[in-house]
Amino acid sequence: MSDEPALNDVREVTPNTLSEWLLHAKIALHQARDRIDALNVFPVPDGDTGTNMYLTWESACEGIVPEGIELEGIVPEGIVPEGIVSGEVSVNLAEAANRIGRQVVLGARGNSGVIMSALIRDFMGSIATEPSSLARALKEGTAGAYAAVATPIEGTILTVARAGAERAEVLASQGVGLLEVVKGAADAAYEALMETPMLLAQLRDAGVVDAGGSGLVVVLDSLVAVLTGESPKRPLFTSETLPQRVGAKSDSSYLVGDGEHEFEVMFHVESENIDALRTSLERLGSSVMIAGVDNLWNVHVHVRERGIADALNQGIASGSISHVSVTPLSSLHGDQILGEHRESTRRSRVLVVVTHGQGVRDKLTEIGVACVPTPPRQQPSASELISVAQETFASEVVFLPSDRDAHGVAEIAASELSSLGVRAAVVPTRSITQSLSAIAVHDRSRDFDRDVVAMTRSAGATHYGAVTVATRDALTMAGECHVGDVLGLIDGDIAVIGVSVLEVSILVLGRLLAPGAELLTVVSGDGCSSNQILELNRWVRSTYPLVDLETMNGGQPLWPFIFGVE
């Protein structure tokens, strides 16, 4: 007998549907991770999108069954961890969905993982209350994904998610069944994925689609496969399959935030009238993000300096605020920005720093800094950051992510600790040298907010550079590079392409050490020869004799040199 009638009778998502979907998607992401990694347009050996999305999804699978429950089943060895299997799960849908949503947020890795986790969290929250409305769940998940990004940009996973949600909403309004809604959403997401190069010049120049969006298509196709028994057949994402529309530009009307606001204001507020606060903040600034549980909300907005007090006063007017954080995005301002909103109490405080090299960890551990060791090409999860912080038993925690892609998980970790009564903040460092600069001005005797501002200011005033080897052919801001070329980065952008580590290092430092530079920090990596270090130091001392030079054997893999200039 055909299974088709039974499939057409599917009316809602069940706990078993969630478990099978998560496991199927995990296997699919595991199989696609290398292909998705290859779509990355940045040719440096960093945390790749496919790997980050797979590890993020793996954390979601940890929420399939309650802790302590063991189910029987057969799963591909090495893909699904022991104890996580498919099969009937005797648990409440809302409990399962909420548990999965929490696990995926705490386990998110990298920017793509954070966006994916926000989407799945809000999707799960919606499906828990309305299991028959997948369209509504996709809409809520997409809204959560957009809210997770300070400045949403089209041509990314956000575009793909929105296209799937909009198609699902249209189909649901026409009265079609759940299966048709799912299939339509997946098809629309794929169509939007193939259009991403038309919205982002970087993708168009590289001849690839968005990596994060391709991962989301894999996830949606897995849901189709679970509900229908058949996986959609998609052409591989190659330059030959992309639409050829040379010169297409992104729709600027979709962009949020004009980049002109100078301060990031964040606080928690207990309020029953959050919509009024959202409206007020949208008039004051940009990148307004508000998320929370029950009546406790985490509020985020970018404003000019004159709007800081207004933003905080709007929060006070709507309820009781706490955990105030004001961060200068331009690093031009300092302690004066907090006014009367600082807390005066002094408490045990610890710095938690993401590190990739043993040498850096040894040095920082000696001075009492807690380190999160992270393997090469990977980013830490929020749960790892939380675990390291909790091991210190500190009541005040400052996270230093040392990488732009780790900012999102650090914010999640800080928010989670705040909900547990720990005062937590993030200094948005983008390299280990910026973290070292922040640590150098840290003073635990200072008020918490003053200390965070001082560290943020010091990190923001530190330009950073790095040298690595290209892992893929790509067209960069510095020209075309090939696998094996030595790349020099300045403030995160590829600025130099050469053939030797020493040559590229000198060219990078020649640009970094502009007039006014006072201190140069050089962190050498694993595999960097003593002769290279000696020659580079000799060049610095002879060419810039007035610049103070500090060196450290960082031991980080893949990056022979990392620089910081103050």
Decide if 417 contacts 93 (C-beta within 8 A).
no
CATH (one of 3.20.20.140, 3.40.30.10, 3.40.50.300, 3.40.50.510) for 346-461: 3.40.50.510
d(CA 167, CA 210): 20
- The model's confidence at residue 287, banded by pLDDT at 50, 70 and 90, is low
Reported pTM: 0.62
How many Cα atoms are found within 13 Å in the side-chain-facing hemisphere of 326? 26
> What whole-number percentage of the chain has pLDDT above 70?
81
Which among 420, 349, 415, 407 is positioned nearest to 380, based on CA atoms?
A: 407
Which of 78-82, 259-263, 297-301, 517-521 is predicted least confidently?
A: 78-82
Q: Say how far apart CA 256 and CA 415 lie, in whole Å.
A: 23
- The reported pLDDT for the residue numbered 256 is 33
- Tens-digit pLDDT profile for residues 223-239: 999 988 888 888 765 54
Cβ neighbours of residue 69 closer than 8 Å, sequence gap 6 or more: none
DSSP 404: G
Q: Please answer whether residues 228 and 67 qualify as being in contact, where contact means their C-beta atoms are separated by less than 8 angstroms.
A: no
Per-residue DSSP letter, 463: E
In this prediction, residues 73-91 reach a mean pLDDT of 39
CA angle (55, 257, 275) in 5-degree steps? 85
Give the pLDDT score at 369.
Answer: 94
Q: What pLDDT, on a 0 to 100 scale, did the predictor assign at position 1?
A: 37
The answer to whether 522 touches 537, Cβ cutoff 8 Å, is: yes
Q: What is the pLDDT of residues 132-143, one digit of tens each?
A: 898 999 999 999
- Strand-pair category, 286-293 with 296-303: antiparallel
Q: Report the pLDDT averaged over residues 526-553.
A: 91
The radius of gyration of the chain from alpha carbons, rounded to an integer in Å, stands at: 24
Taking the C-alpha atoms of residue 253 and residue 32, their distance in angstroms, rounded to an integer, is: 33
Alpha-helical runs (H) found in 39-177 = 49-61, 93-106, 110-129, 134-147, 157-173
Distance CA 503, CA 247 (A): 36
* Region 9-34 average pLDDT: 86
Q: What is the pLDDT of residue 431?
A: 94
For 248-263, the pLDDT digits (tens) are 333 322 233 333 446 7
**Of the candidates 88, 94, 104, which has an alpha carbon nearest to the alpha carbon of residue 25?**
104
Listed residue (62, 56, 100, 54) closest to 84, CA to CA: 62
Amino acid letter for position 314: Q
Quick one: DSSP state of residue 370?
E
Looking at 42-46, 99-103, 353-357, which range is the least confident one? 42-46
Phi, psi dihedral angles at 529 (to 5 degrees): -75, 155
pLDDT at 495 over 70: yes
**CA angle, corner 229, sides to 225 and 235, nearest 5?**
50
> Scanning the structure block, which residue is given the tokens 């959403």?
185
Beta bridge partners of 299: 267, 290
Q: Is the pLDDT of residue 87 over 60?
A: no
Task: Decide the pairing of beta strands 296-303 and 474-476.
Answer: unpaired
Instruction: Sort 484 into a burial class: Cβ within 10 Å, 0-12 / 13-18 / 19+.
Output: exposed
Query: In the predicted model, what is the mean pLDDT of residues 177-185?
Result: 91
Q: Is pLDDT at 302 greater than 70 in this prediction?
A: yes
Q: Tell me: pLDDT of 408 over 80.
A: yes
pLDDT level of residue 17 (50, 70, 90 thresholds): confident
Q: Which residue has the higher pLDDT, 65 or 176?
A: 176
Query: Tell me, what's the pLDDT at 11?
Result: 80
pLDDT at 325: 67
- ∠ CA 126-146-283, nearest 5°, is 110
DSSP 8-state secondary structure symbol assigned to residue 198: G
User: DSSP letter string over 255-289?
Assistant: ----S---EEEEEEEE-S-HHHHHHHHHHH-EEEE
Sign of dihedral through CA atoms 14, 18, 24, 28?
positive
Across 385-442, the runs of DSSP E, i.e. the strands, are: 396-400, 423-426
If pLDDT is split at 50, 70 and 90, which confidence band does 333 have?
very low
Cα–Cα dist 563/433, whole Å: 6
Evaluate if residue 206 carries a pLDDT over 50.
yes
Q: What is the mean pLDDT of residues 425-438?
A: 94
When the pLDDT of each residue in the chain is averaged and rounded to a whole number, the result is: 80
257-341 homologous superfamily: ACT-like. Chain A, domain 2 (3.30.70.1150)
- Domain 4-248: CATH superfamily, name plus number: DhaL domain (1.25.40.340)
What per-residue confidence (pLDDT) applies to 13? 87
Please, which pLDDT band fits residue 154 given cuts at 50, 70 and 90?
A: confident
Q: What is the pLDDT of residue 66?
A: 52
